Amino acid sequence: MHAPDLQTVKVDLADRSYSIVIRRSLFDNPLSYADLPRARRALIVTNTTVGPLYAERLQKALSSKYERVHILELPDGEKYKTWQHMNLIFDALLENGCDRQTVLFALGGGVVGDMTGFAAASFMRGVPFVQVPTTLLAQVDSSVGGKTAINHPLGKNMIGAFYQPIKVICDLNTLQTLPDLQLQAGLAEVIKYGAIADNDFLAWLETNLSALLARDPSALTYMVRRSCEIKAWVVAQDERESGVRAILNFGHTFAHAIEAGLGYGQWLHGQAVGCGMVMAAHLSCQLGLADAFFVNRLTLLIQKAGLPTKAPILSQADNAGRYLTLMRMDKKCTDGEINFVVIDKPGRAGIHCAPDTLVRRVISTSCTAPATLPQVDPP
């Protein structure tokens, strides 16, 4: 489609390349799907919150392209990102006579996107899938780059595959129904892109934060587009995270410790990433890389985005020790060595190891917060 305000970002991965299209009023426009391969059937995977809002409109848009468009609503929540619930996707595909041409549509946030992507990677050894992300986090991060996964009782995102979608449809109108806390959580990943890859974008975020929090459409358009460009640029260089893609984990090492230590779901992932970036910025400063001005600048932006900047205490006995133990359990750890993403200078990141004494100092100065935050209403 050639609407004048349509933004397109290409993810350049040879024969696995695809487009991310960004605009308002996109997901329910049949033209958004005109370039997809022909098939008889499609399955929309969504959840019990997003489905009632958007699934029928997507089904209608797809019905001119596919003879049968089925809808599957999964229960809403990270706790359902399991084998058992992914099996419901296979049940729906098989019960409805779907075949190798069937196209899956992931309509929802990162949970639906990760599960649908993994189901698409495995059903009949791989069927095409389209991401229709409806959270900010999913639009700027999880729908792009082909990481798909489900959780295991012993670890988050432990079972999965790299499997790229054939298209990503970011409809900015869907962000209008997103709860504030979810919007703020998505902003953490956006701020991350500025910090690791584009100092001008970081400055733009500082200037435009109020417009973004007010969901101004043109501010949202630029933010989603620039974020997708940065993610696409990183993924194109290193699809399977053997090198530079690791910089996308800025703040995530501390964040994963917070999430695991408090119990998953206590803090939203984006809240933990916000706080984790402040901690990683402090570590960068302790290592003699970023300066104190940058740490303060980043902290202020994260705070203004409504995200926590003080870390929770995970253990009364040995808090820093608990953080270190949890960080060593992260799947990005190699031989017990924690690989921290640090800021070399604003807009440029690198990977460094750090002595435990330094990490302990960062944790001690960061941890003064109560462990509870405002929670999202349960769906």
The binding site for ligand NAD (CB under 6 A) comprises: 47, 49-50, 53, 76, 78, 81, 108-112, 114, 134-135, 137-138, 141-142, 145, 147, 157, 174, 177-178, 182, 185, 269, 379
Type of residue found at 283: L
CA-based R_g, the chain, Å: 20
Q: Is 114 in the site for ligand GLY (CB under 6 A)?
A: no
189 is an active site residue: yes
Per CB under 6 A, 248 contacts ligand GLY: yes
Q: How far apart (Å, rounded) are the C-alpha atoms in residues 287 and 281?
A: 10
Selection from ligand NAD, ligand GLY, none that 73 binds (CB < 5 to 8 A by kind) is none
Question: Would you call 291 exposed, middle or buried from its count of C-beta atoms within 10 A (0-12, 13-18, 19+)?
Answer: middle
| Residue 59's binding partner out of ligand GLY, ligand NAD, none, with CB under 5 to 8 Å set by partner kind | none
Helix H, strand E, coil C: the string for 276-297 is HHHHHHHHHHHCCCCCHHHHHH
359 binds ligand GLY (CB under 6 A): no
Q: Which residues are bridge partners to 72 per DSSP?
A: 45
Q: How far is the CB of 62 from ligand NAD (least distance, A)?
A: 18
Instruction: Let me know if 10 is a catalytic residue.
Output: no
* Shortest Å, Cβ 234 to ligand GLY: 8
Catalytic residue among 68, 78, 241, 310: 241
State yes or no: residue 141 binds ligand GLY (CB under 6 A).
Answer: yes
Active site residue 352: no
How far apart CA 215 and CA 195 sit, in angstroms, is: 22
Question: Tokens representing 322?
Answer: 């608990």
Q: With respect to ligand NAD, which residue has the nearer C-beta, 66 or 239?
A: 239
Q: Where are the alpha helices (DSSP H) in the chain?
A: 50, 56-62, 83-95, 110-122, 136-137, 180-197, 199-213, 217-237, 252-262, 269-286, 292-304, 319-328, 356-366
Is 57 designated active site?
no
Among 167, 245, 269, 297, the residue binding ligand GLY under the rule CB under 6 A is: 245
Is position 245 annotated as part of the catalytic site?
yes
Residue whose CB is less far from ligand NAD, 13 or 313: 13
Q: How far is the CB of 116 from ligand GLY (least distance, A)?
A: 16
Residues 6+ apart with CB under 8 A from 53: 174, 177
List residues with catalytic annotation. Answer: 125, 147, 189, 231, 241, 245, 249, 252, 256, 269
User: Which stretches of the chain bind ligand GLY, using CB under 6 A?
Assistant: 141, 145, 147, 241, 245, 248
